[in-house]
């Protein structure tokens, strides 16, 4: 039977000595010893390392298992090799290994680029590698230059941010010219002016895949030149003022085999283009929503739109020499007629049922049993009638009751669904440095509650760093007739009082209530 003991040397370094089956207790071989230390610096300071010596580093971000190899002392990269201590791993590479802080303030540009360069140098030219961004807010000060066949992966788009405040792209793949993929990440620029998201440049039809991502506050979110192919799925654009996705094959190539699924483009403004597609063949858009843009789809080539929603755009289509096939799409409050100009007589085809709703006052049942409701609720007195449906995202705000104040937000997102007279919502808030004063208020709900407080229901609350008194529990209440929520603390005897505003904290809430006007 194997057994182990722990020893400490004169420097206090802990050594875990394991005796394998068949070894007498007095015999201890080098391969049986694992040295455990707290930090990378502690490992690098170990005296007299020998080839094959195993070391375990406890550090949550940069730690792991290492084996010393004297032949690799000169290959130090400050991430997977530290003066000959070689990290033991397979699969993804974490930016935390290379020293990324991810606190929303520290500049992580250099260390993330170092991780990308490592993948470029060590990965197969065919299969590439995956760079993992654990949940954090990674701030960069200049463009990250991509490696060949790079995949970047976050934990989820609510908790993993790559953010900058500079003119240029957050990530540029033009020097790599190979496959690229991104998943579970929010890309954010602070300044917005001349700042962009991703520049993707394929090589001979290589594929790009972007899914479960968000793009905030920039001019161009995704830009690509060349004969790209790929999949763009479950992407949210907000505050993108020039172009959401731009694919330009140039004068000699074509964009082929590209699909857009469940894309939501919101509020780019009168000069924005949600999809700018030049020289495309059989590009498909399914279940996409485009609201309040200058032009929803601008294209040359062949575009197929299925089950898409267009609302309050200046133009839904601007097509030049294009074959547009549309199936079961809805158009609401379009400001101008679609633009179609041809030099070669390419036809436009509409299948299923295209329905335009003037001023949002009609309700239509489409041929595919999809029900379209007006943009403004029209309550019906018949209790068996479904009056209204709407869903979307909103930006809740932490405020003080005396002085509203401002804060720095790491997460500030809400989602809602209104079905008839009932609104279901969820909120995720993470903030610091709040300068408001008074009691705790969450404002900017998308739909005001009904004025009758008796019809409102309880809200579930998860919190961190929200101070309440002993013997009290935290709860949240809707303000009747006002689109806001108050935090309360309730005593075990049933009495309650307000919660003072916290300068930093985390709140996750969900609940439902009766909408105003019903």
- Same domain, residue pair 359 and 420: no
3-20 in b/e burial notation, b at 16+ Cβ within 10 A?
eeeeeeeeeebebeeebe
Rounded mean pLDDT of 450-461? 69
**CA 289/CA 428 separation, integer angstroms:** 23
Summarised one tens digit per residue, pLDDT across range 309-342 is 999 899 998 887 767 888 888 888 888 877 665 4
Residue 369, pLDDT above cutoff 50: no
Q: Exposed, middle or buried by CB within 10 Å (0-12, 13-18, 19+), for 61?
A: middle
DSSP string, 273-323: EEEEEEEEEEEEEES-EEEEEEEEEEEEEEEEEES-EEES-SEEEEEEEEE
DSSP string, 349-369: EEES--EEEGGG---EE-TTS
- Same domain, residue pair 405 and 311: no
CATH of the domain at 402: 2.60.90
End-to-end CA distance of the chain: 73
**CA 200/CA 368 separation, integer angstroms:** 36
Q: Which residues have C-beta within 8 Å of that of residue 211, sequence separation ≥ 6?
A: 181, 182, 183, 231, 232, 233, 234, 235
3-class DSSP state of 81: strand
Q: Which residue has the higher pLDDT, 313 or 11?
A: 313
- Same domain, residue pair 141 and 254: yes
- Same domain, residue pair 229 and 324: yes
Please answer whether residues 394 and 416 qualify as being in contact, where contact means their C-beta atoms are separated by less than 8 angstroms: yes
Question: Which pTM value belongs to this model?
Answer: 0.63
Give the pLDDT band of residue 379 (cuts 50, 70, 90).
Answer: confident
| pLDDT at residue 455, as a whole number | 52
Q: Which residues have C-beta within 8 Å of that of residue 33, sequence separation ≥ 6?
A: 15, 16, 17, 18, 53, 54
* Residue where a domain terminates, one of 57, 75, 93: 75
Instruction: Indicate whether 192 belongs to any domain.
Output: yes
Max intra-chain CA distance, the chain: 90
- Same domain, residue pair 323 and 397: no
Instruction: Indicate whether 80 belongs to any domain.
Output: no
Strands (E), 328-421: 330-332, 339-341, 349-351, 355-357, 364-365, 371-372, 389-394, 397-400, 408-419
Rounded mean pLDDT of 486-503? 89
Q: Any idea which residue has 């998308």 for tokens?
A: 446
Six token digits for residue 346: 């390419």
Pairing verdict, β 330-332 and 309-311 = parallel
| pLDDT at residue 516, as a whole number | 83
Give the pLDDT band of residue 439 (cuts 50, 70, 90).
Answer: very high
Question: Which one of 44-53, 192-201, 467-476 scores highest in mean pLDDT?
Answer: 44-53
| pLDDT at residue 177, as a whole number | 54
- Same domain, residue pair 363 and 394: no
Indicate the number of domains in the chain.
3
The C-alpha angle with vertex 324 and arms to 321 and 325, in degrees rounded to 5, equals 155
- Same domain, residue pair 251 and 316: yes
Instruction: Indicate whether 177 belongs to any domain.
Output: yes
Give the pLDDT band of residue 360 (cuts 50, 70, 90).
Answer: very low
Average pLDDT value over all residues in the chain: 82
Give the pLDDT band of residue 18 (cuts 50, 70, 90).
Answer: very low
- Same domain, residue pair 268 and 169: yes
**CA 89/CA 91 separation, integer angstroms:** 7
Summarised one tens digit per residue, pLDDT across range 280-289 is 877 899 999 9
Give the pLDDT band of residue 46 (cuts 50, 70, 90).
Answer: very high
**CA 462/CA 484 separation, integer angstroms:** 17
Rounded mean pLDDT of 492-510? 90
- Same domain, residue pair 397 and 300: no
- Same domain, residue pair 361 and 397: no
Q: Exposed, middle or buried by CB within 10 Å (0-12, 13-18, 19+), for 231?
A: middle
- Same domain, residue pair 332 and 453: no
| pLDDT at residue 378, as a whole number | 72
Summarised one tens digit per residue, pLDDT across range 390-416 is 889 999 999 999 999 999 999 899 999
CATH of the domain at 213: 2.160.20
Q: Which residues have C-beta within 8 Å of that of residue 44, sequence separation ≥ 6?
A: 82, 83, 85
| pLDDT at residue 494, as a whole number | 84
Residue 488, pLDDT above cutoff 80: yes
* Residue where a domain terminates, one of 24, 57, 75: 75
* Residue where a domain terminates, one of 28, 57, 75: 75
Rounded mean pLDDT of 299-312? 89
Give the pLDDT band of residue 139 (cuts 50, 70, 90).
Answer: very high
As separate numbers, helices (DSSP H) first and strands (DSSP E) second, the chain gives 2, 40
Summarised one tens digit per residue, pLDDT across range 83-116 is 999 999 988 999 999 999 999 999 999 999 999 9
Instruction: Indicate whether 377 belongs to any domain.
Output: no
Instruction: Indicate whether 425 belongs to any domain.
Output: yes
Q: Any idea which residue has 């007498």 for tokens?
A: 24
| pLDDT at residue 363, as a whole number | 35
Instruction: Indicate whether 21 belongs to any domain.
Output: yes
**CA 69/CA 325 separation, integer angstroms:** 61
Instruction: Indicate whether 125 belongs to any domain.
Output: no
- Same domain, residue pair 350 and 394: no
Instruction: Indicate whether 111 belongs to any domain.
Output: no
- Domain hosting 470: range is 389-514
């Amino acid at each position: 039977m194997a057994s182990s003991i722990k020893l400490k040397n004169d420097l206090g370094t802990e050594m875990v000595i394991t005796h394998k089956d068949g070894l007498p207790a007095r015999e201890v071989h080098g391969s049986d010893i694992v040295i455990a230390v707290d930090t990378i610096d502690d490992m690098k300071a170990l005296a007299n390392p020998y080839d094959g010596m195993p070391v375990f580093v406890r550090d949550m971000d940069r730690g792991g298992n290492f084996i010393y190899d004297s032949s690799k002392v000169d290959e130090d990269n400050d991430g997977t090799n530290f003066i000959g201590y070689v990290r033991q791993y397979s699969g993804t590479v974490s930016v935390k290994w290379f020293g990324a802080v991810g606190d929303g303030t520290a500049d992580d540009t250099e260390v993330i680029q170092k991780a990308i360069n490592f993948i470029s140098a060590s990965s197969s030219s065919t299969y590439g590698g995956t760079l993992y961004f654990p949940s954090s807010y990674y701030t960069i000060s200049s463009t990250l230059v991509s490696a060949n066949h790079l995949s970047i992966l976050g934990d989820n788009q609510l908790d993993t941010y790559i953010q900058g405040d500079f003119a240029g792209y957050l990530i540029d793949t033009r020097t790599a010219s190979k496959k690229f993929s991104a998943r579970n990440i929010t890309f954010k620029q602070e300044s917005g002016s001349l700042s962009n998201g991703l520049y993707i440049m394929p090589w001979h039809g290589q594929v790009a895949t972007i899914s479960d991502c968000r793009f905030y506050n920039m001019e161009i979110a995704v830009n690509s030149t060349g004969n790209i192919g790929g999949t763009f799925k479950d992407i949210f654009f907000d505050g993108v003022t020039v172009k959401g996705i731009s694919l330009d094959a140039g004068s000699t190539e074509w964009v082929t085999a590209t699909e857009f699924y469940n894309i939501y483009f919101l509020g780019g403004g009168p000069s924005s283009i949600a999809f700018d597609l030049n020289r495309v063949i059989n590009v498909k858009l399914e279940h996409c929503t485009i609201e309040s843009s200058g032009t929803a789809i601008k294209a040359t080539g062949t575009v197929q739109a299925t089950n898409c929603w267009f609302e309050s755009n200046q133009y839904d289509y601007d097509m030049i020499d294009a074959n547009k096939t549309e199936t079961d799409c809805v158009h609401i409050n379009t400001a101008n007629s679609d633009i179609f100009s041809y030099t070669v007589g390419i036809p436009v085809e509409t299948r299923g049922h295209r329905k335009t709703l003037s001023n949002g006052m009609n309700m239509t049942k489409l041929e595919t049993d999809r029900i379209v409701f007006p943009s403004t609720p029209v309550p019906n007195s018949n209790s068996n009638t479904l009056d209204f449906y709407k869903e979307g995202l909103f930006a809740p705000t932490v405020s003080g009751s005396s002085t509203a104040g401002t804060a720095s937000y790491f997460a500030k997102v809400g989602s809602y669904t209104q079905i008839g007279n009932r609104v279901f919502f969820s909120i995720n808030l993470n903030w610091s440095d709040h300068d408001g004063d008074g009691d705790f208020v969450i404002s900017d709900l998308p739909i005001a509650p009904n004025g009758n407080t008796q019809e409102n229901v309880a809200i579930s609350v998860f919190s961190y760093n929200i101070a309440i008194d002993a013997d009290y529990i935290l709860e949240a209440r809707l303000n009747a007739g006002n689109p806001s929520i108050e935090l309360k603390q309730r005593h075990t005897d049933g009495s309650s009082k307000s919660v003072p505003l916290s300068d930093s904290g985390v709140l996750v809430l969900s609940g439902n209530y009766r909408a105003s006007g019903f």
